[in-house]
Amino acid sequence: DVKVTQSSRYLVKRTGEKVFLECVQDMDHENMFWYRQDPGLGLRLIYFSYDVKMKEKGDIPEGYSVSREKKERFSLILESASTNQTSMYLCASSSTIGPLMNRLFFGSGTQLSVL
């Protein structure tokens, strides 16, 4: 079974803090993604990475950056947290080959509250 692990289930941070959300997958997937989920808006793509050290902006990258130094790990960084970044953050991975190609596997999510 594919496992995508997000380091924290719940986080509370202060406005202006730098926040790191970590995600690790154990299936050697090439692609990794960060989404945020907000009521009425569904899942919106923040950033994705299709290889180590490669990244592309998604639909809502403002205020975020990412890091992928190793294939299994994809980090989302909030440079200076703001209250409008309070959300559920979901990491996902997918493979580019095989019978499960392009199927997204999600972590359990991190509920981030910025006060």
Partner 1 sequence: DQQVKQNSPSLSVQEGRISILNCDYTNSMFDYFLWYKKYPAEGPTFLISISSIKDKNEDGRFTVFLNKSAKHLSLHIVPSQPGDSAVYFCAASPRWGKFQFGAGTQVVVTP
94 scored as a contact of partner 1 (CB under 8 A): yes
Interface pick for partner 1 out of 42, 69, 83, 97 (rule CB under 8 A): 42
What b/e sequence results for 41-55 when a residue is b if at least 16 CB atoms lie within 10 Å of its CB, and e otherwise?
eeeebbbbbeeeeeb
Q: Give the integer Cα–Cα distance in Å for 109 and 15.
A: 21
Residue 31 binding partner 1, by CB under 8 A: yes
Establish if 41 lies at the interface with partner 1 (CB under 8 A).
yes
Distance CA 100, CA 16 (A): 40
Residue numbers at the binding site for partner 1 (CB under 8 A): 4, 9, 31, 35, 40-45, 48, 58-59, 90, 92, 94, 96, 101-109, 111
